Structure 1
Amino acid sequence: MAEAEVNLQTKVHGEKTFTHEDAYQKALEYFNGDELAARVWVNKYALKDSNGYLYELTPDEMHWRLAREVARIEKKYPNPMSEEELYGLFRGFKYIVPQGGPMAGIGNAYQVASLSNCFVIGDAGPSDSYGGIMKVDQEQVQLMKRRGGVGHDLSHIRPKGSPVKNSALTSTGIVPFMERFSNSTREVAQDGRRGALMLSVSVKHPDSEKFVDAKMEEGKVTGANVSVKIDDEFMRAVVDGTEYQQQYPVDAADPKMKKNINARQLWEKVVHNAWKSAEPGILFWDTIIRESVPDSYADLGYRTMSTNPCGEIPLCPYDSCRLIAVNLYSYVDNPFTENASFNFDLFKQHAGHAQRIMDDIIDLELEKIDGILEKIIADPEDEEIKRVEKNLWLNIRKKAEEGRRTGIGITGEGDMLAALGLRYGSDIATEFSVEVHKTLATSAYKSSVGLAKERGAFPVFDAEKEKENPFIQRLAEADPEMYEEMKKHGRRNIALLTIAPTGTTSLMTQTSSGIEPVFLPVYKRRRKVNPNDPEVRVDFVDEVGDSWEEYIVFHHKFVTWMKANKIDTTKNYTQAELDKLIEKSPYYKATSNDVDWMSKVRMQGQVQKWVDHSISVTINLPSTATEELVGQLYVEAWKSGCKGVTVYRDGSRAGVLLNNSEKKEEEGGKFPKKRPETLEADVVRFQNNKEKWIAFVGLLEGRPYEIFTGLADDEDGILLPKSVQKGYIIKSRDSDGTSRYDFQYVNKRGYKTTIEGLSFKFNKEFWNYAKLISGVLRHGMQIEDSIHLVSGLQLDNENINNWKNGVERALKKYIPNGTKAKKGHCENCGSDELIYQEGCLICQSCGSSKCG
């Protein structure tokens, strides 16, 4: 490297900087060769400026940065913790781990960003005018550009067909605004990843069924998670088979519009869509409001309106939350031995420290918000343009300072139970988990009361307002002395606890994620190798000639169990040997796909009683799970006291790692040359350059066998109801012997409807190219290669080029999630670790995505 280049890399802002590769190699050493953990830390959490220069070489430097900044705040108050004490809690990701925004942003003077992980927006008395809706849209974008995930509720928007006093005469309803908010999310980049959005609506809203269906249409609302706020009255109507009244406004004593619906029919739609696509999520809204401590202060602006994108933090408008995870595995002494025990004394002490650190982080966040406001004021834009953004952050600052909300959670629960010899999902394991979370709750609240004595209570604290709250009553019963102190001195924070997903956090703690069980104790990965290099093992060569090596990856704590039991961790085990190993381990029958689903739901309900916010948890089901089972799980979740639940059926949406014993067959092979007379078919709709397009994808054994794509308008004669998503393509012959392709589906009344002659409905040129693509699909070309073939066609006709885009978009839907892209590099970090997720290319190294 030239001298000038060295200087450029080593001195920026007068400080030493490091190359991405230098930091990666040091992080790799720090994480004992764990490539994924090293990549995640370098890409997401190492101190960097907006130009990408790195100022930290190892996570240890990050932990000192966090300790210095928190210690600086501590010195403002009595009995401060020292920098060394704080570093001891952060070091090695062992005990306390600030999550996401706090880890990346604390002490980062190079970027103007919030430390909050999540926000909810929307006025306490939300407006359904265009002005009010556009204001929310702008607020959402302004928050996302500062790293925040955002949630807001749409229940205030008038149902479709409602009269309005403008030239439109009637309201368009909720769905168009879902698309607007979704599109805004996709437009905002957050350090290589798109923003995160939660849209919710009350089941009482007359447009709730349209809301539920919106994400099922291909290409729509792809930038948001959606959840339905379901009340107890609706659930009772579902269970009892009675009618349910929808109305608008949803909370009005004298609504302008109301209608009675069959609750079970809407429920079945919710269940079907969740079974098919893992959405919508369910929010049991009456349980949330009933249990919410902040809602004791609803008259002061703390009425809960929606949740953050993962659902674990229900919030009032303009409130925000920062997250910390306590690593439960680290409190197990002598793990995976007969002498294993949980160190409750140390856990209580650290739970108190975690709450103290969380309160310090609120002060650090207030500093960050002041920095954001200073930047807004200094920006040369017109004051009118800046007004919404400025008022947004002033509102957020007020809520953060007034309520001082915190979000202490956990990670490593699955590993904690295994290390103690308890099988996840068993009664004894659930009882132990509940005791751990009860201890966390009482210890954190005790710490918050102590902080109130030293620093003052949150400004609107009122023991009288809270005394009937069920969560506060449980705390009072569990620790009467603490409760009496709280009534006397107040507490520092309006609400304290949550259980969030800890994806990247758990990669760095090298534990199971959040409250979830271990996904797999052993799995396989692949890496491309040069067959000419010495000592390289080539396990297979793919269809384009690249050589690959397969290697076994053990879950980190599974290796700890092996070592504790003197089992060789270096041996190249056969699959049969691995199966026997797993059977001997405490992870046997305790992974995501093994745990009894009802038991997991009940566990969530019991733990929820000791979490004042909510829990982000997913019930993993096999692909064979029925819609009936999904409905039963939802009902059980409601009865068990869960605040929300998400069900994921294998293959319905997100990709996962492969179990060794169920090695996925390579795509390819040849279909029968003779086309079956009838094929199942998917209908895929999308837009290209504002034109409406439609694709009919014939499926054989679940894979695309043929595809017919073109414009969908009146002239083409494809007058297909939007509700039709599946049917059959039937090959037949006219009286003159000419082959013909018909599309047949079952309408809402249960009658078969046939559209004759697809081959005559579409543009002839489109049809000829469709036959070409169908031909290569039928002869076994892999889907990704077929897409590359289509995209590489050199065509001058603009309409045909649009057709190319349509075929590509339709086929990408069928690339199995988790498939590694054969070509291309990440535009953000240059990595070739690209995989397909829901038709989008996701970089496993930095998390950036590219869709379309």
Structure 2
Amino acid sequence: MAFKNVAVEPKTGKKIYSQEEAYQATLNYFKGDDLAARVWINKYALKDSFGNIYEKNPDDMHRRLAKEIARVEKKYDNPMTEEQVYELLKDFKYIVPQGGPMTGIGNDYQIASLSNCFVVGNEGNSDSYGGILKIDQEQVQLMKRRGGVGHDLSHIRPKGSPVKNSALTSTGIVPFMERYSNSTREVAQDGRRGALMLSVSVKHPDSESFIDAKLEQGKVTGANVSVKIHDDFMQSVESGEPYKQQYPIDAKRPAYEKITDAEKIWKKIVHNAWKSAEPGILFWDTIIKESVPDCYADLGYKTVSTNPCGEIPLCPYDSCRLLAVNLYSYVEKPFTAEAKFNFEQFKEHVGYAQRMMDDIIDLELEKIDAIIEKIDADPEDEEIKSIERKLWEKIQTKANEGRRTGVGITAEGDMLAAVGLRYGTEDATDFSEEIHKTLAIEAYRSSVNLAKERGPFAIYDAEREKNNPLINRLREQDETLYTDMVKYGRRNIALLTIAPTGTTSLMTQTTSGIEPVFMPVYKRRRKVNPNDKEVRVDFVDEVGDSWEEYIVFHHKFVDWMKVNGLDTTIKYSQEELDKMVEKSPYYKATSNDVDWLRKVRMQGRIQKWVDHSISVTINLPNDVEEELVGKLYFEAWKSGCKGVTVYRDGSRSGVLISNKKDEKKKEKFSTFPTKRPEELEADVVRFQNNKDKWVAFIGLVGDLPYEIFTGLQDDEDGILLPRSVTKGKIIKNRDEDGNSRYDFQYTNKRGYKTTIEGLSYKFNPVFWNYAKLISGILRHGMPIHKVVDTVTSLQLDNDTINSWKAGVARALKKYIPNGTIAEGTVCGECGSNNVIYQEGCLTCPDCGSSKCG
């Protein structure tokens, strides 16, 4: 497609494309895939800070990447040419750099790191306020460069421990979880919020509080949380024996010890994961035992936490860049009886992938130099800049010394279907294990060859690694490789991972990571005006909105249809679609079909050939019992997994829907009592609008809002309430005249009960009247996201009331069930209409963008 009147950037002479020009060219590139086109333009196209676009489609991006990688190649012997690199990258067919590398390589408009993942930490495990605030600043400094960050909290002393300051005792872990979470939510990343992982050892005396923190509404909404589980804890759960927690957790003579019930903690972990998909589990002894970098723990490579998605365990101040190999592209004659996987081509390309990853480390080191130069040039005082500068110097040292890489894969689900194997079966798992064993051997072989040409990573020592389980598995498979590694060393301290390839898989138009297909065929809905011409109304929801439904086929399912002579352009009935899927290799191989125990065992077998970790989610239907989660966790531990996450599906209505006819479920709201109980459990939610501080008392039935009282806090007309109070009870009473009133009762730190009488008249009468209105619609079963819409749409003239309205909406959003579709909302980043509420934030599962407030 040709464009006229293309603008030019004056200083560089580069062409500038309009949004529409780039969109049309990219839509053509992706053969009409609107979502892939919008994701690429919004996330990966080269832009300056004014939003000018300098690439019209991904082919321009691949030329940019190839040019820069080839420039690095020229520094070394036997360089790859720019054309060779381009052929591997083009069309997202074989090798796909992810996230940071794809955005940042050759991008002179943005001073940012190429790394996807970082971990930070306190030297000497300091839990002083200075040390804690240093970590807070470090994570913010990394997030502003678009990095995801993880760090561990096990070094913070438990609640009630003596401290030598005016507090006298420590507040424990949870307040600092909130601090780090809030900092994450404050950092803007081009329309996204930062990504944070917080972990703690189950040995820590505050681990139970850590496990519960995310279930307390309004707390720790900006972080993923995972518990580091040790083998002796799992053994205590199995045997029913007591478990010893201590602080410091690794001390031979701890300052504090606590004997606890392992089974009680285990049930709490299982319940919370069943209820909210968190905490995740990190099998820490397995991680450390299998970790190659931990052979150098005394030299600064002791693993302390993971990145936000859990696929890269890291030592403090190390980082990693990610790249995926597209497995589907190595299947010859896919979906036919002659289909086969081209192992020889795969081996060759894995070698190139590892080589390109090492080149990207050199490009990252250039980026870090630019970041440090930027810090030095900034006008701030040297003392203010010192933490940020030292942070990047430490990251620079680790990147240069260890040269860690993150080679992974995508399209495992499609690859298996294309060779005629059903995901989750024993044959499919055997084949997957062979793929990943091959990848590990060839990546390590490439790293050894790079060591011959470029030199090994600075601290390589074969003696240190001789007992590492993964190194010994490689030795058993290929003695020559091991002999060469001992002789020449290895270029990279660790090499492999399997990440959740999110937006990458949208552009490869394949399944993500090692996950199975979500659904081979599904429907989307878009809201329509029934009065418009030529509009088809297929569905009218409970509030009267009209929707058009249309069928979406998974891209590789379309390939299967074409191979089997099926027309991809006609409209099929539901019965025809069901029969079609039954005949395909995707039948009973979706994320909801695959046997959960089989999937865990598959993960464990593949993990043996991945030196970092694997990000994978076990999808469970809504109606499974909690005990199943515990059973899956035990199976994961015994299978050798390094971590595991479960997600129990909620009933999702709205834009993305199943094709089944019988899946509509009753709303939980139907269980609300018709008569207001005498007392209700209550949450206290605080919020601030402009300079005013507000408070909301939210009465609950189960875990759902039933009524709300709101107003200004700490003023002459408001309520004086200690900041530590987050929960209590709302009790219905009568005053001296027999009129009903609502009192709030809470228990203070000393265990005494305190009652605030008359919430109904403590606040401004206008607030009270609106609160009665909102409580009424809550009690009568309107879904919470609809209540929020109603509150938001109120037309009010008074600024104070509008501030109150915004705060109430924000407070209630926290109770919208995760996965609820935000009807009529379009993702501002990728254009998808599959936007959902997640922890009160609007989140797009298609591209990962998130908007809170």
Question: Please, which of 809, 815, 829 is the counterpart of residue 813 of structure 1?
Answer: 815
The separation in 1 between residues aligned to 2:675 and 2:66, in whole angstroms, is 67
Q: Which moved more, 1:683-692 or 1:490-499?
A: 683-692
What TM-score do the two structures reach when normalised by structure 1? 0.90
**What is aligned with 1:836?**
837
Alpha-carbon separation, structure 1, partners of 2:629 and 2:758: 37
Provide the rounded CA distance (Å) in 2 between the counterparts of 1:828 and 1:635. 39
Equivalent residues of 1:292, 1:613 under 8 A apart = yes
Instruction: Say if 1:200 and 1:671 are closer, same or farther in 2 by CA, change over 3 A.
Output: closer
Q: Count residues in correspondence.
A: 838
Looking at structure 1, the residues matched to 678 and 500 of structure 2 have their Cα atoms a distance apart, in angstroms, of 40
What's the CA shift string for 1:691-720, capped at 9, x where partnerless? Answer: 553201458xx9866555568999979999
* Equivalent position amino acid for 2:520 in 1: P
The residue that corresponds to 1:773 in the other structure is 774
Distance of 2:235 and 2:671 partners within structure 1 = 51
SS in 1 for 2:40: helix
| CA distance in structure 1 between the aligned counterparts of 2:273 and 2:545, rounded to whole angstroms | 38
Contact kept in structure 2, 1:248 and 1:256, CA below 8 Å: yes
Q: Mean alpha-carbon deviation: is it higher for 837-846 or for 352-361?
A: 837-846
2:104 corresponds to:
105
Distance 1:627 1:669 in 2: 18
Whether 1:137 aligns to 2:136 is yes
Does residue 214 of the first structure (1) align with residue 213 of the second (2)?
yes
Aligned to 2:576: 577
The residue number in structure 2 matching 1:384 is: 383
Q: CA deviation at 1:839?
A: 2.1
Which residue number in structure 2 is paired with residue 850 of structure 1? 851
CA distance in 1, matches of 2:648, 2:665: 22
Shift of 1:523: 1.1
Match of 1:79 in 2: 78
Indicate the residue corresponding to 1:421 in structure 2.
Answer: 420
Matched, 1:693 2:696: yes
Aligned-residue offset at 1:10? 6.2
d(CA) in 1 for partners of 2:653, 2:647: 8
1:205, distance to aligned residue in structure 2 (A)? 1.0
Structure 2 distance, partners of 1:386, 1:245, is 42
CA gap 1:703/1:237 in 2 versus in 1, 3 angstroms: closer
Q: Which amino acid aligns with 1:813?
A: Y
Residue of structure 2 equivalent to 1:312: 311
SS of corresponding position for 1:696: strand
Contact 1:151 1:309 in 2 (8 A): yes
In 2, the alpha carbon distance for the partners of 1:377 and 1:303 equals 30
**CA–CA distance in 1 between the matches of 2:674 and 2:461?**
73
Aligned to 2:392, what secondary structure does the other structure show? helix
CA distance in 1, matches of 2:754, 2:334: 64
1:433-582 pair list within 5 angstroms: 433-529=432-528, 535-540=534-539, 547-582=546-581
Assess if the C-alpha contact under 8 Å between 2:218 and 2:814 holds in 1.
no
* Contact 1:713 1:719 survives alignment (8 Å): no
Mapping of residues 331-350 of structure 1, within 5 Å:
331-350=330-349
Q: Secondary structure at the match of 2:227?
A: strand
Unmatched 5+ residue regions in structure 2? 747-752
Q: Distance in 1 between matches of 2:308 and 2:21?
A: 34
Residue 187 of structure 1 pairs with residue 203 of structure 2: no
Query: For 1:356-395, what aligned pairs fall within 5 Å after superposition?
Result: 356-395=355-394
* CA distance in structure 1 between the aligned counterparts of 2:453 and 2:352, rounded to whole angstroms: 14
* In structure 2, C-alpha distance between the alignment counterparts of 1:670 and 1:214, rounded to whole Å: 25
Could you tell me whether the CA contact under 8 Å between 1:695 and 1:710 is conserved in 2?
A: no
| Cα pair distance change 1:614/1:681, threshold 3 Å | farther
| Pairwise CA distance, 1:387 | 0.9
SS of the aligned residue for 1:228 comes to strand
Q: 2:223 and 2:669 mapped to 1: Cα distance? A: 38
- Between the aligned partners of 1:593 and 1:508, the Cα distance in structure 2 is 23
Gap change, CA 1:591 and 1:843, over 3 Å in 2:
closer
Q: Once the 2 structures are TM-superposed, how far is the Cα of residue 180 of structure 1 from its aligned partner? A: 1.0
Give 3-state SS (helix, strand or coil) of 1:125's partner.
Answer: helix
- SS of the equivalent of 1:661 reads coil
Paired AA for residue 587 in structure 1: Y
Deviation at 1:840, TM superposition (A): 1.6
| Distance verdict in 2 for CA 1:656–1:744, change over 3 Å | farther
Taking only aligned residues, the RMSD between alpha carbons, in angstroms, comes to 3.6
In the alignment, the residues of structure 1 paired with residue 650 and residue 678 of structure 2 have an alpha-carbon distance, to the nearest angstrom, of 21
In the TM superposition, residue 777 of structure 1 has moved relative to its aligned partner by: 4.6
Amino acid at match of 1:19: S
| Residue identity opposite 1:68 in structure 2 | K
Paired with 1:28 and 1:530, the residues of 2 have a C-alpha distance of: 26
Q: Which moved more, 1:710-719 or 1:541-550?
A: 710-719
1:775: Cα distance to partner? 3.4
SS at 1:552 equivalent: strand
TM-score, length of structure 2 as denominator length: 0.90
Work out the CA distance in 2 between the residues paired with 1:681 and 1:514.
Answer: 45
CA contact (8 A) 1:161 1:171 kept: yes
Matches within 5 A, 1:665-744: 675=674, 683-689=682-688, 692-698=695-701, 707=708
1:31 maps to 30
Displacement after TM superposition at 1:577 (Å) = 1.5
1:256-295 alignment, distance < 5 Å:
256-295=255-294
Q: Are 2:20 and 1:21 aligned?
A: yes
Distance 1:672 1:373, change over 3 A: closer
Instruction: Identify the range of structure 1 (262-271 vs 644-653) with the bigger mean alpha-carbon deviation.
Output: 644-653
- CA offsets per residue over residues 250-283 of structure 1, 9 Å max, x none? 1111111111111111111111111111111111
Going from structure 1 to structure 2, the CA distance change for 1:356 and 1:29 (only over 3 Å counts) comes to same
Q: Secondary structure at the match of 1:54?
A: coil
Gap change, CA 1:716 and 1:241, over 3 Å in 2 = farther
Q: Distance in 2 between matches of 1:762 and 1:18?
A: 58
The one-letter amino acid of 1:199's match is L
SS in 2 for 1:282: strand
Equivalent residue letter for 2:434:
E
| Other-structure match for 2:750 | none
Q: Indicate whether 1:156 and 2:155 are aligned.
A: yes
Distance 1:175 1:754, change over 3 A: closer
Identify the residue that residue 749 of structure 2 maps to in structure 1. Answer: none
Instruction: Give 1:748's aligned residue.
Output: none
How many Å separate the matches in 1 of 2:588 and 2:679? 36
Contact 1:692 / 1:713 at 8 angstroms: preserved in 2? Answer: no
Listed one character per residue, the Cα deviations across residues 105-143 of structure 1 (whole Å, up to 9, x for unaligned) are: 001011100000001111442211111111111111111
User: Structure 2 CA distance, aligned partners of 1:622 and 1:340?
Assistant: 33
Return the alpha-carbon distance in structure 2 between the equivalents of residues 709 and 653 of structure 1: 30
Greater shift, 497-506 or 787-796, is seen at 787-796
Q: Within 2, Cα distance between the matches of 1:601 and 1:754?
A: 49
| 1:407 alignment counterpart | 406
Deviation at 1:339, TM superposition (A): 1.0
Match of 1:166 in 2: 165
Could you say which residue in structure 2 is the equivalent of 1:749?
Answer: none
Q: What is the identity, as a one-letter code, of the residue corresponding to 1:642?
A: C
Q: Report the alpha carbon displacement of residue 103 of structure 1 after superposing the two structures with TM.
A: 0.4
Name the CA shift for 1:603/1:827 in 2 (closer, same or farther; >3 Å): closer
Retained in 1: the 8 A contact 2:293–2:494? yes
Q: Distance in 2 between matches of 1:154 and 1:656?
A: 39
1:797, distance to aligned residue in structure 2 (A): 8.4
Q: Distance between the aligned counterparts of 2:167 and 2:303, measured in 1?
A: 32
The residue type equivalent to 1:696 in the other structure is G
CA deviations over 1:212-258 (Å, ceiling 9, x no partner): 11111111111111111111111111111111111111111111111
The residue type paired with residue 193 of structure 2 is R
Identity %: 67
Determine if contact 1:153/1:306 at 8 Å carries over to the other structure. Answer: yes
Q: Which amino acid aligns with 1:27?
A: T
Q: Does 1:225 align with 2:224?
A: yes
Identify if the C-alpha distance between structure 1 residues 577 and 758 changes in structure 2 by more than 3 Å, giving closer, same or farther.
Answer: farther
CA contact (8 A) 2:655 2:823 kept: no
* Change in 2 beyond 3 A, CA 1:708/1:386: closer
Task: Tell me how far apart the structure 2 counterparts of residues 341 and 829 of structure 1 sit (CA, whole Å).
Answer: 35
Change (3 A) 1:461 1:574: same
- Aligned-residue offset at 1:365: 0.5
Judge conservation of contact 1:498–1:611 (CA < 8 Å) in 2: yes
1:795–1:801: 8 Å Cα contact kept in structure 2?
no
- CA offset at residue 642 of structure 1? 0.5
